[in-house]
Structure 1
Amino acid sequence: MSSNTLRDADLTYTLHPYTNLVAHESKGPLIAVRGEGVRIYDDAGKDYIEGMAGLWCASLGFSEPRLAEAAARQMAELPFFHMFTHKSHAPGIQLSEALVTRAPVPMARAFFCNSGSEANDTAIKMIWYMNNALGRPEKKKLIARKRGYHGVTVAAASLTGLPANHRDFDLPIANILHTSDPHYYRQGKPGESEEEFSKRCADELEALILEEGPETVAAFFAEPVMGAGGVIVPPKGYFDHIQAVLKKYDVLLVADEVICGFGRTGTYWGSQQFGMKPDILTCAKALSSAYLPISAVLVSEPVYAAIRENSAKIGTFGHGYTYSAHPVAAAVALETLAIYDERNILDQVALSGARLQERLRALASHPLVGDARGVGLIGALELVADKETKANFDPALGVGAKVADQAQENGVITRAMAGDILAFSPPLIITPTEVDEMMNKVTAALDTVAADL
């Protein structure tokens, strides 16, 4: 199919996620045709450094032959089987062991899904199932954070704290609440230290739990670093203060590691970076370097014990997906984990992450940049109209989108999020030299838009 034919077919037949569908009719798609390392190539042959690793996910880049070979081997040997009703297969069993033994805190079991949304939805169902099993039918409310992102299924999208994910979808559903986000740059008061701000966030969480009634609040969902909400890195002491509140009122902590897991923040799990001790952990994306869809939910022994006993009482644990632990996806995930180990991926993140953070911080002095932040190989630039007052640009100007479009024209794919925030999450295999190339092109894009403004 020619490029023009592909473009016409896209505009005629495809409904795109997270897209202004009217604007798409005139803008049209960037059509990727192949990948190599940290780059993708479009249908005109132009190459781009993928500064977002796709959707925060292609951790090993776009041309890792071992993952393709692992998929081919498993496809030839056992292309499909399932884990329902006492059935199993080697890749699923081995991946369960690999994840449970790698968990940041002791975990009892791994359950498999196909996406981060499904993993968080599954965690919600497990929490409700567990509390019914424990004779606590009123303990069902879930608290997430404003600006948090936990997926797009009905329940997971309700946890997500972004207006566009709720508006006109009739969300959030009942029993899902939101507390303040830890965005110190925006929410910190004059003269308030990071530690003081963190304590205030925890106090607000405690006030919400008390207002709702501790006997009704079941769990708190949190990303170690908030991704789609603007790459919000928790300030000093944040999770220490938050976890003290959760422990006080017997509220489970669910760590959403969908973006942060497998090295993104500089530790194997984001939870380790910030001292989180989750009762449930969800992961996806870099689990298979996004080469095939797979996600997992890891549960602690107390959670598993309640689920186990209730399944015996009812006769089954009535939850699962046709493709839970799909053997080909599981085989690719196992190979991905093996590559992380063999190539010491954390050393690569330490090297290239330091360079990314250095280049981001250097842009804090740029006329358009109010805040530059990040950790490991994840970061963001928050663009402002007035650096001193932190005043935002008029949303109608679309300044963040203009910078992202100009960066793409320059050969770098980044992502503009609400509030004129530019996100960066390149493949973990990116080199310091490639980081410099990426940031040079982004700097040029900032300069071009600043001159236009």
Structure 2
Amino acid sequence: MYNSLRMRDIASQIHPQTNLAAHETVGPTIMARGEGAYVYDDDGKQYIEGMSGLWCAALGMSEKRLVDAATRQLNTLPYYQNFAHRATEPAIELSERLLKIAPVPMSKVLFQSSGSEANDTAVKLAWYYFHAQGKPEKKKIIARNRGYHGTSIGSASITGLPHLHREFNLPLPGFLHVTCPHFYREGRPGETEEDFSTRLAEELDALIVAEGPDTVAAFFAEPAMGTGGVVIPPKTYFEKIQKVLKKHDVLLVADEVITGFGRTGAWWGSQTFGLEPDMITCAKALTAAYMPLSAVLLSERLYAGMKAQSEKIGVFGHGYTYGAHPVACAVGVEALRIYEEDGIIDGVAALGERMAEGMLPLAEHPLVGEVRGVGLMWGVEIVRDKRTREAFPADMQFGIGIQNRAFENGLVCRSLGTAIAFAPPLISTPEQIDAVVSRFRDALDRSLDAYLAGGGRLGE
């Protein structure tokens, strides 16, 4: 009964972000190998990996320099911990490199293994810092609806997606959410983008005042929202939000887990959208996903408070067994070298323009309400009525149907709410970018044909 890989998977493994009952019937698609921007299933079928895995395989699936970096370190020192004054050369070098390329001056780096751990850690550090300032009540965390910051207990509480909360007893108390900065969905009739940004800044200010500024520690924001549907901030948004945060001494944490290391066309999304964070969390493309690794970058202001607090207590009581893992750090060092030496990040702008040339005309398609994106991070909003912007009912899973038809076409993309998301590897060729667009356009057309043939109607 369990002699095939598919049956063995169903019998043994839980798949995140999956309908577990449906999986027992559908089973997995088993990916067997990868090469550049392509992955191949165990039947040999080729797919363009239009999501870089989970936004992370920025250098594709066959970068030998990363494999060699890991192998060298495995043969030298395969593991060591960094508790209690221990260190390794790869962790030191990667820390130095991250501080050198940081979008604003940063003082220190703290390593973890995942983006969720990094955001959990950032919450703890904000609390620790304000204890050092004699403000222990300053501990509430504010984020945005549809923001994504992870799925651990703390990071899922920051996240503003209901399905990550439902029946998990989340979010925890003290985690608050404000309006998603998606102008297409949240803007009011007659409101300009600048007016919308003003309203959201006023909403944030009012929430901080209502809760008490002496109780609010930090505001978490992705420079461009990823899993919430690729939401690009409206004009003047972060300029106005940051004024509110500074007014109330609320820390800004830039979640660069998706946007860091070239995804938006700059080293950091904070550079693209003008953020000046107190902390930066990053992961994913930090190692191009070849090893699990994340980092929190901290300003000198925060580090000084943490140092004083640890001196008072006698120890900085935080850490992970695999934090600053030497193999992961060695791969991270090599990934940063490749981004810089091979001009990878410099090349994103041209690839992004190529993708825009293909994607933006899709706005005329009967099923598309909006096309939005930056660099190699794009979202296509799916609607039933272009005039009213009505979405398809969630129980129809219309976006999943489009995603599945694209998969049949040999394209990996991802249905996220009412949008379809794309994040191809930064090493994609112009021809591969064109193929992403053409294969997706075909999936749209086939989805429309099937819907109309089944008696469905679009809005006028």
TM-score range, shorter chain: over 0.9
**Residue in 2 that maps onto 1:99:** 98
- Aligned partners of 1:277 and 1:205: how far apart in 2? 18
Q: TM-score normalised to the size of structure 1?
A: 0.98
Decide which of 425, 428, 441 is 2:426's aligned counterpart: 428
Decide which of 444, 447, 450 is 2:448's aligned counterpart: 450
More deviation, 353-362/31-40: 353-362
1:185-334 superposed matches below 5 A:
185-334=184-333
For the residue of structure 1 that corresponds to 2:297, the secondary structure is: strand
**Runs of 5+ consecutive residues of structure 1 not aligned to the other structure:** none
Q: CA deviation at 1:79?
A: 0.4
- Aligned partners of 2:313 and 2:252: how far apart in 1? 26
- Aligned partners of 1:442 and 1:92: how far apart in 2? 41
**Residue in 2 that maps onto 1:414:** 413
1:14-413 superposed matches below 5 A:
14-413=13-412
- Aligned partners of 2:436 and 2:219: how far apart in 1? 36
Q: CA deviation at 1:346?
A: 2.1
Q: 1:32-71, CA deviations, whole angstroms, 9 ceiling, x for partnerless residues? A: 0000000000000000000000000000000000000000
- Aligned partners of 2:89 and 2:264: how far apart in 1? 31
Give the residue type in structure 2 aligned to 1:253: L
Q: CA deviation at 1:347?
A: 2.4
- Aligned partners of 2:146 and 2:357: how far apart in 1? 26
Give the residue type in structure 2 aligned to 1:425: A
**Residue in 1 that maps onto 2:458:** none
Give the residue type in structure 1 aligned to 2:333: L
**Residue in 2 that maps onto 1:441:** 439
Q: CA deviation at 1:430?
A: 0.8
For the residue of structure 2 that corresponds to 1:323, the secondary structure is: coil
Q: TM-score normalised to the size of structure 2?
A: 0.97
- Aligned partners of 2:393 and 2:188: how far apart in 1? 23
For the residue of structure 1 that corresponds to 2:290, the secondary structure is: coil
For the residue of structure 2 that corresponds to 1:372, the secondary structure is: strand
- Aligned partners of 2:311 and 2:172: how far apart in 1? 30
Q: 1:364-388, CA deviations, whole angstroms, 9 ceiling, x for partnerless residues? A: 0001001100000000111000000
Q: Provide the aligned length of Structure 1 versus Structure 2.
A: 451
Q: CA deviation at 1:141?
A: 0.6
For the residue of structure 2 that corresponds to 1:84, the secondary structure is: coil
- Aligned partners of 1:405 and 1:215: how far apart in 2? 49
Q: CA deviation at 1:4?
A: 6.4
Give the residue type in structure 1 aligned to 2:197: S
Q: CA deviation at 1:179?
A: 0.7
Q: CA deviation at 1:358?
A: 1.9
For the residue of structure 1 that corresponds to 2:447, the secondary structure is: helix
- Aligned partners of 1:5 and 1:437: how far apart in 2? 33
Give the residue type in structure 2 aligned to 1:20: N
Q: 1:152-194, CA deviations, whole angstroms, 9 ceiling, x for partnerless residues? A: 1101100000000000000011111001110000011112111
- Aligned partners of 1:332 and 1:271: how far apart in 2? 24
Q: CA deviation at 1:134?
A: 1.0
Question: How many percent identity over aligned positions?
Answer: 56
- Aligned partners of 1:244 and 1:429: how far apart in 2? 37
Give the residue type in structure 1 aligned to 2:232: V
For the residue of structure 2 that corresponds to 1:128, the secondary structure is: helix
